[in-house]
């Protein structure tokens, strides 16, 4: 296709400015389309990506939790909902020493209070750095020293940097490291060694009306690995074996498969919605351009009478649509960037499923993709109607054609 001469481009701009209502309506539609395409596809990508490696992120084959606290512990593991629950001391010892497991590492959960005492209500997790195999792999940088008394490691959503301080209850803690984004509860948690966690419990008891047991052997969850790969038979065996000890074995695989089922339904819903939006946009743009053809037939007939070719008319319509779609898609991208940057924390808080924020290059690729899709959709709609434009103009030139 020959490029349009400058005069034709000016003409297209003037035509669009002459119909401000129609132009702004179509621009808004294209802005909405671009915004929905980018945000919908980034949401789907972040959720799929979050789920893909969620199994490895949980790190252990099973999490041993007190019976009756399965829901609470799943909430704490997946979304970091602050919770406080404990295993019986004798059971902890029995599981850690059991030959059923190749690895076992205890963790102690303390929910900080949503009050003036603390910088933010988060889940404090005490862990044993010597036996740990679920938290350390997510450190952004290797710890230079042992995790000392009063030292903490923060999840990626916690607003603190290495070397900074955070206050929980009446104590200031030194941030020594930060975890990578895991897309799960770890992102909203703060980690410390067991000694620091026990000191935090003493602090907690000073502030909270509900007192926690202040024992040195207090444990909330044990992360365990078995020699064999996960099987439901093994899980049933373990649950039966330790039933009288008041514990439940939550299998990471099972947690992921439950999540996967609910997530795939949600992702299908998002995909269908985006497909419907694309179809509606093509349909609306085609209908609007076809309807306006009729009211513009005199204008087109004048162009033809002045010697314009059919292909020139087609190019004019395509140029008008291209301008509208570039302006609309750019507006959609600007709205997306403003809302995504401004409300990032709120969005991440509201997504309670595993979600990994796409990086800069990936986001850029989706933005360019959204822009290209909007441009393609509008040009497709314009091509359908431009085929009819020349015929309408020629018919209008005949006697009685108007």
Q: Which stretch binds other proteins (CB under 8 A): 47-55, 119-127, 143-151, 250-258?
A: 119-127
Angle at 359 between CA 357 and CA 365, to 5 degrees: 115
Residue 167 as a binder of other proteins (CB under 8 A): the answer is no
Q: Closest CB to other proteins among 155 and 328? A: 155
Which of 4, 8, 113, 121 is in the footprint of other proteins by CB under 8 A? 121
What's the rounded Cα separation, in Å, for the pair 373 and 367?
10
CB of 72 to other proteins, least distance (A): 20
Residue 120 as a binder of other proteins (CB under 8 A): the answer is yes
Q: Closest CB to other proteins among 102 and 349? A: 349
Which of 94, 159, 172, 262 is in the footprint of other proteins by CB under 8 A? 159
For 185, half-sphere exposure in the C-beta direction (CA atoms, 13 angstrom radius) is 23
CB of 344 to other proteins, least distance (A): 9
CB of 338 to other proteins, least distance (A): 6
Q: Closest CB to other proteins among 46 and 66? A: 46
Q: Closest CB to other proteins among 290 and 335? A: 335
Q: Which stretch binds other proteins (CB under 8 A): 41-49, 100-108, 118-126, 376-384?
A: 118-126
Q: Closest CB to other proteins among 112 and 321? A: 112
Convert residues 325-364 into a mask of x (bound to other proteins by CB under 8 A) and - (unbound): -------------x---xx-xx--x---------------
What's the rounded Cα separation, in Å, for the pair 72 and 83?
7
CB of 14 to other proteins, least distance (A): 17
Written as six digits, the tokens of 310 are 């059919």
Q: Closest CB to other proteins among 24 and 208? A: 24
Q: Closest CB to other proteins among 278 and 335? A: 335
Q: Closest CB to other proteins among 154 and 222? A: 154
Which stretches within 296-402 are classed as H helix?
297-305, 310-342, 344-350, 360-397
Those residues with Cβ within 8 angstroms of residue 109's Cβ, 6 or more apart along the chain or in another chain: 76, 83, 84, 85, 123, 124, 125, 126, 220, 221
Written as six digits, the tokens of 398 are 């005949």
Residue 119 as a binder of other proteins (CB under 8 A): the answer is yes
Those residues with Cβ within 8 angstroms of residue 306's Cβ, 6 or more apart along the chain or in another chain: none
Those residues with Cβ within 8 angstroms of residue 62's Cβ, 6 or more apart along the chain or in another chain: 223, 224, 225, 226, 230, 235, 238, 249, 250, 251, 252
Classify the C-alpha dihedral 84-92-181-116 as positive or negative: positive
- How many Å is the Cα radius of gyration of the chain? 30
* Cα separation values, 115 from 112, 211, 356, Å: 9, 16, 29
Residue 115 as a binder of other proteins (CB under 8 A): the answer is no
- Give the binding-site size for other proteins (rule: CB under 8 A): 11
Residue 165: what are its φ and ψ, rounded to 5°?
-130, 150
Q: Which stretch binds other proteins (CB under 8 A): 113-121, 217-225, 268-276, 306-314?
A: 113-121
Residue 264 as a binder of other proteins (CB under 8 A): the answer is no
Which residues contribute to the site for other proteins (CB under 8 A)? Answer: 119-121, 157, 159, 338, 342-343, 345-346, 349
């Amino acid at each position: 296709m020959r490029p349009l001469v400058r005069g034709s481009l000016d003409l297209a701009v003037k035509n669009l400015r002459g119909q401000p209502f129609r132009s702004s309506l179509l621009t808004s539609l294209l802005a909405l389309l671009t915004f929905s395409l980018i945000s919908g596809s980034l949401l789907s990508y972040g959720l799929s990506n979050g789920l893909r490696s969620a199994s490895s992120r949980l790190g252990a084959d099973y999490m041993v939790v007190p019976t009756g606290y399965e829901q609470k512990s799943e909430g704490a593991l997946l979304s970091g909902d602050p919770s406080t629950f404990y295993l019986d001391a004798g059971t902890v010892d029995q599981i850690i020493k059991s030959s059923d497991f190749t690895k076992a590492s205890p963790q102690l959960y303390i929910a900080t209070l949503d009050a003036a005492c603390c910088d933010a209500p988060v889940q404090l997790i005490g862990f044993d750095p010597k036996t740990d195999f679920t938290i350390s792999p997510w450190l952004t940088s290797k710890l230079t020293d042992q995790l000392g008394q009063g030292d903490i490691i923060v999840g990626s959503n916690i607003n603190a940097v290495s070397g900074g301080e955070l206050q929980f209850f009446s104590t200031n803690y030194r941030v020594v490291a930060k975890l990578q984004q895991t897309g799960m509860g770890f992102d909203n948690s703060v980690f410390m060694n067991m000694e620091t966690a026990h000191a935090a419990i003493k602090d907690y008891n000073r502030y909270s009306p509900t007192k926690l047991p202040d024992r040195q052997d207090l444990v909330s969850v044990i992360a365990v690995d078995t020699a064999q790969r996960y099987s439901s038979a093994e899980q049933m065996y373990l649950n039966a074996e330790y039933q009288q000890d008041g514990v439940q074995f939550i299998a990471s695989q099972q947690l992921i498969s439950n999540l996967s089922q609910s997530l795939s339904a949600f992702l299908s819903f998002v995909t269908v919605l985006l497909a419907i939006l694309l179809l509606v946009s093509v349909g609306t743009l085609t209908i609007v351009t076809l309807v306006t053809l009729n009211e513009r037939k005199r204008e087109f007939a004048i162009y033809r009478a002045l010697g314009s070719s059919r292909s020139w008319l087609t190019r004019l319509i395509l140029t008008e649509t291209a301008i509208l779609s570039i302006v609309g898609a750019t507006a959609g991208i600007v709205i997306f960037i403003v809302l995504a940057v401004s409300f990032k924390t709120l969005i991440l808080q509201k997504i309670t499923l595993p979600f990994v924020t796409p990086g800069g290059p990936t986001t850029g690729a989706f933005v360019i993709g959204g822009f290209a899709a909007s441009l393609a959709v509008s040009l497709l709609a314009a091509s359908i109607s431009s085929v009819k434009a020349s015929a309408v103009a020629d018919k209008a030139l005949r006697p009685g054609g108007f």
